[in-house]
Amino acid sequence: MSSVSYEIPSETQQRLEALVDRIEANQGRLVEPAELEELQSKLNMRPAMETLPPGLSEEDFIEILKLAMLTECATDSYANVIEEQAATYASPWLERFSHDIWAPDERSHHTPYRYMFLNLGFSDAELDREIRETRERQYIHGSGDTPVHITTFGMIQEYLTDNWHGLIAGLMKNSAPEAAYIANRIKQRETLHTVWYRDMTALQVEANPGLIGHVGEALVRFKMPGQVLLPDLQNKVPGWLPGMGADFDHMTKDLVRLIHESLGGSVRRSGELLLAVAAEKGMRLGPVDPGHLRTALNRLGGPGYGLVGEALLLKMGLNSFFEDPVQGASGPAAPIHRRVEQLRGVLRGWVADRLEIEVGYESYAEA
């Protein structure tokens, strides 16, 4: 018996099964053994070590690569959790996705980094030991147990991993192009994984909007797997990111867009989620306590959630995701309608000005 409420209709289970079928039939270009063999024969990492940007030492670079290799080598630790929870909540689509698609794809992602280390003079024995020790550590998943918790976590984790491999590729673009190429190939795979998890989340929330609370829990409790398995390395990420060229404004915008899309593109659901997360984290909207605002909106039937969702998108520069009703107003009632919507626009701007939404170092490094 599951300990957390989770329910979706059988027809949604079928739609999720069909989604996994489509993913399995169209997985895109996997990282192939031939690519890895070619990489090994052409690789030269020494120039990358000699052309690091200010603020990153050779030791930093080694540990950056090590975090990538070791978190990727622990794929089965994560897959076991996903598949156990999928079985607990009678979600064979998620179990099949993890076992047949996601995990086999992910298992190849640590190998390029192993080749980079061999090229830098590390021994097979040393790398084998570190990989074995990482795989032997227990991964404890703390972002929630239900399938929608898992797919929300997967969406965020895969996006941040995608970003991490991209930052590594950027460090080697000119100095070690073969290494940069394979890091970008891994990034491409993580981009697909992000989209797949997003679409799974969207189908579940569409079928049962009550699951928005679970999405919020997954976001609030989120921590990178490295924080559990490799905390000594993961905790150094905040010091590395500026030198790696991380763009937090871009990341924040991307993540808000992904979350909005995972909620079916509904401004009301995005507003509801924002207030749920804000209440949980003790955030404020200027002088307004989000918990009190949430209670008031619930008593009114929630008509203001859409306004909050629009304000969030406006804050992120994503206002193209919602329509400005003033522009389309026509007919005898148009003047009144325009005044009402103009007032709504003022309120939307007021809320947007008071939102403090930022993806920072803690997304990688803190619970």
Summarize pLDDT for 254-307 with one digit per residue, the tens.
998 999 999 999 888 888 888 888 777 766 666 666 666 666 666 655 667 776
User: Per-residue pLDDT tens for 234-244?
Assistant: 999 989 999 99
What tokens appear for 121 in the block?
């003079």
CA distance 193 to 105: 10
CA distance 211 to 218: 11
- Residue 366 has what pLDDT? 47
Q: Domain residue spans in the chain?
A: 10-245, 267-354
Tell me the C-alpha to C-alpha distance, in Å, between residue 118 and each of 35, 41, 167, 183, 189. 17, 12, 21, 16, 24
- Residue 302 has what pLDDT? 60
Q: Which of 332, 226, 311 is nearest to 268 (CA)?
A: 311
Q: Which of 367, 365, 364 is nearest to 251 (CA)?
A: 364
Compute the residue count for the chain. Answer: 367
Whether residue 93 contacts residue 72, with contact meaning beta carbons closer than 8 Å, is answered with: no
Q: Which of 228, 226, 308 is nearest to 263 (CA)?
A: 308
**CA 168 to chain CA centroid, nearest Å:** 18
Angle between helices 147-172 and 177-207 (to 10 degrees): 160
Rounded to 5 degrees, what are φ and ψ at 342?
Answer: -65, -40
The CA-CA-CA angle for residues 311, 291, 296, to 5°, reads 80
- Residue 274 has what pLDDT? 83
Residue entry with tokens 């150094």 = 236
DSSP state of 109: S
Q: Between 3.40.640.10, 3.40.50.12280, 1.10.620.20, 1.10.443.10, what CATH number should domain 10-245 receive?
A: 1.10.620.20
- Residue 34 has what pLDDT? 85
- Residue 2 has what pLDDT? 44
Angle between helices 237-244 and 147-172 (to 10 degrees): 50
- Residue 245 has what pLDDT? 94
- Please list the rounded mean pLDDT of every run of 10 residues in the chain (367 residues): 78 98 96 86 94 96 98 97 97 98 97 96 97 96 96 97 97 96 96 98 96 94 95 94 92 90 90 81 67 64 68 73 56 53 58 59 49
CA distance 345 to 327: 12
